[in-house]
Structure 1
């Protein structure tokens, strides 16, 4: 399907679970590339109830391929300050609508590849991050999660894309202890990594996974499965923006 095709009376269904919030569902009818009927529903709370009709009406007439910004703007314009949206917001509605029409995707919409850990040099590890990111973005490779394995003989310091080597690394200590220093493609801080002392993974996802999300919001969304796994292992972890996972004893991720 493409955004320019006509869809007389075609029905679409999309769902979005707000991280830490509620489920938002969009059921749409699309006619000739335009939303002709909308039904937003879910387990959220909304006061007054009548505001839901205004939200649905705001979606009718929008183009099938309307951007996340346009959809969210239409919803925001349809409600005033007296309306209370608990557990969701205009951006969550826009994501559910975009998922319904196929421009935003969820984890379940993709066939994921799991790249098992292989002991390779650190320079190859960080190079793979850039190559796989570019390949997935260009559609040359499937979305993937890659687990890293750190060689026993290769303790390393990995610095963020925007960090200064001289400010973050003790050059004399690096030389004395034979530590390799590499720069990764992503931002963030410096990390000391050695074999059997860290679990490292990378996610390579299409941009449709975070369609309409801010850079800040994308992190907790993509890390939600990690937080769930830690909870199931009875680890008392909590999320600290921008992208830290911590426990009462300190930062762990």
Structure 2
């Protein structure tokens, strides 16, 4: 069995392993990482040999850590990365390039329809009716998108939302509220088979699925990194927030909203929780906590999106696609039945 794990911001770790009588055999770890002393690689392989194949990644990592000689230097990877690579081999995990990725970048759509499209496309990938897909969103109107488990009354000031013409919708993933204005955000979703993140915890999969966008931002001159659990940030402030949902049928939805520009004063008039979050971060204003891509790149929003898409295409492959008529019909039906209803939006009052 063969498994690969690209450490976010680091190096590739490859695991080749057999299983005999429920135990690891013929373990071989390799990759483009750096390791001193040379003999430590044999130590890592030996530490894994004969271990039960049911051990979790963290337990495998602990065995590696315990076996490494004092002063061993692992550069570009870690014992945790080795454990993940082994689990991915045992789980028959897939890699980005194992799939023919599709791109959907349609015109502006209503907030509730975006929520429904996310649900439908995740189900389509899980059922094998759609290849893994990257969808870039365009917004038809201002919105607040609250997480699946957030309290509506605690998050949104209804008077502020009415005054600014903001629609409130609830998504299927957890996490915090997002304040959206057309032209001021960059939002995208990844719909992928669960095999892509096999062997990883939720936290590890966030970093893994965000790694490509860190590379894209780097090409734009923005030095950004993953901030656990679900933020992308830079020295100037937070750039983006991610959320994730896995469905039992075997797919993962990972979506990200990035701040291209932001009207912080308006945001704080619509979101109740804003001031508390800011005080918790020890910063005096949203403008200082969130640093938009417009200022950091100096590029038009459309150009930032195009550069991100081309980076993804060069790294993982990408074929231009559209939302299929039957997918759109299902999504519109879900708006009527679920995402456009007060019962769903206020399901946590």
Q: Match of 1:73?
A: 59
Partners of 1:58 and 1:138 lie apart in 2 by 39
Shift of 1:215: 1.7
Query: Does residue 21 in structure 1 map to residue 21 in structure 2?
Result: no
What is the aligned partner in structure 2 of residue 126 from structure 1? 115
Displacement of 1:85: 5.6
1:178 is aligned, of 143, 156, 165, to 165
Secondary structure at the residue paired with 2:112?
A: helix
The match for 2:125 is 136
Q: Show CA shifts across 1:43-81 (max 9, x none).
A: 334455444334324544568xx4561x66356336436
Query: Residues 30 and 240 of structure 1: is their aligned pair in 2 closer, same or farther, counting only changes over 3 Å?
Result: closer
**Partner of 1:3 in structure 2?**
none
Residue 169 (1) aligns with residue 162 (2): no
Q: Which runs of 5+ in 1 are unaligned?
A: 1-11
* TM-score for the superposition, normalised by structure 2: 0.59
- Deviation string 1:186-234 (CA, Å, 9 cap, x unpaired) is 1222122122111110111122222222222221211111111111111
Alpha-carbon contact 2:88-2:198 (below 8 Å) kept: no
Cα deviations by residue, 1:82-107 (Å, 9 ceiling, x for unpaired): 45462333442243345556611221
Higher relative helix content: 2
RMSD: 2.9
Q: Secondary structure at the match of 2:67?
A: coil
> In structure 1, what is the equivalent of residue 188 of structure 2?
201
Cα distance in 1 for partners of 2:203, 2:15 equals 24
Alpha carbons of 1:174 and 1:75: their partners in 2 closer, same or farther (altered >3 Å)?
A: closer
Compared with structure 1, are the counterparts of its residues 119 and 234 closer, same or farther at alpha carbon in structure 2 (3 Å cutoff)? same
Question: What's the TM-score once normalised by structure 1's chain length?
Answer: 0.79
Cα–Cα, structure 1 residues 140 and 98, in superposed 2: closer, same or farther, change >3 Å?
A: farther
Partner secondary structure for residue 215 of structure 2: helix
**C-alpha contact (below 8 Å) 1:68/1:94 kept by paired residues:** no
Determine helix, strand or coil for the equivalent of 1:242.
coil
* Whole-Å separation in 1 of the counterparts to 2:29 and 2:37: 15
Tell me which residue corresponds to 2:304: none
Could you say which structure has the greater relative contact order, defined with CA pairs below 8 angstroms and 6 or more residues apart?
2
